[in-house]
Amino acid sequence: MAIKDTIKPTRSELIGLKKKVKLSESGHKLLKMKRDGLIIELFDILDKAKNVRSEVEKDYEIAQQNLNIAKTIEGVVAVKSTAFALKDAPVITLESKNVMGVVVPRIESTSVKKNIIERGYGIIGTSSCIDEAADAYENLVEKIIIAAEIETTMKKLLDDIEKTKRRVNALEFKVIPELSEAMDFIMLRLEEMEREETFRLKKIKS
């Protein structure tokens, strides 16, 4: 006697499996929508990341050039003492925002861009090359903060896309097929049992 012939499933088991299949299919659909939405968000972020990275590199070159000019004209000691004159350092605050269920950072900064008076060094004792170097580095810091938020967001989106993709594949290629196969087997087995019961009743009656 085959093992399957000894199994006697019930209608309630069949109903339970149907509910599981329906729930799995619904979850599969929602996860696919989430995955596709995250991919769209990622492409938007990739464009921003590409632009901001090139801007950071450009601003870094400008800042280095201005700093070298300032060192040549004012001297290294004067440039360093001017840098140490700054008392009001930039304030960075880290918050979070939700992108389709993924928590990504929001980085806010204050006091990065300053006017000449706020920088703390004397206006009379320094030349414009110091001011230009300070301006360039303030622009660079602002771009770095933007780049940090964008690239961290991009990494988090990539990680969640990969996790969602694995869950979609697990449901599509393993969970749903196995549940459907079990449901089909129970339906066939119940039909066999009904036929056997009908035959038995006819035999008793005759």
Per-residue pLDDT tens digits for 49-88: 888 989 999 999 999 999 999 999 988 988 888 877 776 7
What is the domain range of residue 150?
Answer: 27-179
Residue range 3-39, pLDDT digits in tens: 455 567 888 888 999 999 999 999 999 999 999 999 9
Q: Residue 119 above 80 pLDDT?
A: no
- 190 falls within a domain: no
Residue range 144-164, pLDDT digits in tens: 999 999 999 999 999 999 999
pTM of the model: 0.74
What was the pLDDT predicted at 125?
Answer: 60
Burial 7-38 (b: 16+ CB within 10 A, else e): eebeeeebeebeebbeebbeebeebbebbeeb
Q: Is the dihedral of CA 159, 165, 166, 167 positive or negative?
A: positive
DSSP code per residue over 11-64: HHHHHHHHHHHHHHHHHHHHHHHHHHHHHHHHHHHHHHHHHHHHHHHHHHHHHH
Rounded to whole angstroms, the Cα distance separating 9 from 11 reads: 7
Residue pair 79/130 in contact (Cβ under 8 Å)? The answer is yes
- 6 falls within a domain: no
What was the pLDDT predicted at 24?
Answer: 95
In sequence order, what are the residues at sequence separation of 6 or more whose Cβ sits closer than 8 angstroms to the Cβ of residue 146? 52, 107
Residue pair 180/21 in contact (Cβ under 8 Å)? The answer is yes
- 105 falls within a domain: yes
Where residue 65 sits, what CATH number does that domain have? 1.10.287.3240
φ, ψ dihedrals at 89, nearest 5°: -75, 155
Of 48, 32, 45, the C-alpha closest to 158 is 45
Number of independent structural domains in the chain: 1
Of 161, 49, 55, 59, the C-alpha closest to 100 is 161
